Amino acid sequence: MPRFPVKVAVASKEGLAISEHFGHAKQFRIYEVTPESCKLLEIREVSNYCQGHHGDQSAMVGILEAIKDCYAVFIAKIGEGPTEKCQAIGVKAVSDFAYQAIEASLIDYVSHLDTSEVKT
């Protein structure tokens, strides 16, 4: 059975809140989370996907590569297309905690997970 910790990606402008739109993110903060703790592992740089009224497909490939080992990606906002692309690689797109503090949000989220769903 899979177990904690859970690895997640967070799009944040300033590193305090889940404050960045998926398509505007130039980096993702990678955290290791349990119901009791949250630890920043690394920051992964990416090219932003959103280019006004269209998306840069090569940037999308890079973003998906950067977050593919995560259970979920936390963003302030995400469109349907990018949500489907995340789902296709087994990463849940979570916008329920938009503009809230990172650590408290991640701990709250994982404390409600069914660990049988968590990829190791």
Q: What tens digit of pLDDT does each residue of 27-70 get? A: 999 999 999 999 999 999 998 876 665 566 778 899 999 999 99
- Alpha-carbon torsion (86, 73, 23, 99), positive or negative: positive
pLDDT band at 1 (very low <50, low <70, confident <90, very high): very low
Decide if pLDDT at 101 tops 90. Answer: yes
Query: What 8-state DSSP symbol labels residue 65?
Result: H
Decide if pLDDT at 96 tops 60. Answer: yes
Angle at CA of residue 4, ends 104 and 119, nearest 5°: 110
The whole-angstrom separation of Cα 36 and Cα 20 is 25
- Cis peptide bond upstream of 5, omega within 30: yes
In angstroms, the first-to-last Cα distance of the chain is: 9
What average pLDDT score do residues 12-38 get?
95
Mean pLDDT value across the chain: 90
The whole-angstrom separation of Cα 66 and Cα 20 is 16
Angle at CA of residue 65, ends 63 and 66, nearest 5°: 65
**Any idea which of 25-34, 82-91, 111-120 has the lowest mean pLDDT?**
111-120
- What per-residue confidence (pLDDT) applies to 52? 60
Using DSSP, state whether 2 is helix, strand or coil: coil
Q: Contact at 8 Å (CB) between 6 and 118?
A: yes
What average pLDDT score do residues 97-113 get?
96
Which one is predicted more confidently, 81 or 53? 81
Maximum Cα interatomic distance, the chain, rounded to a whole number of Å: 43
- What per-residue confidence (pLDDT) applies to 114? 75
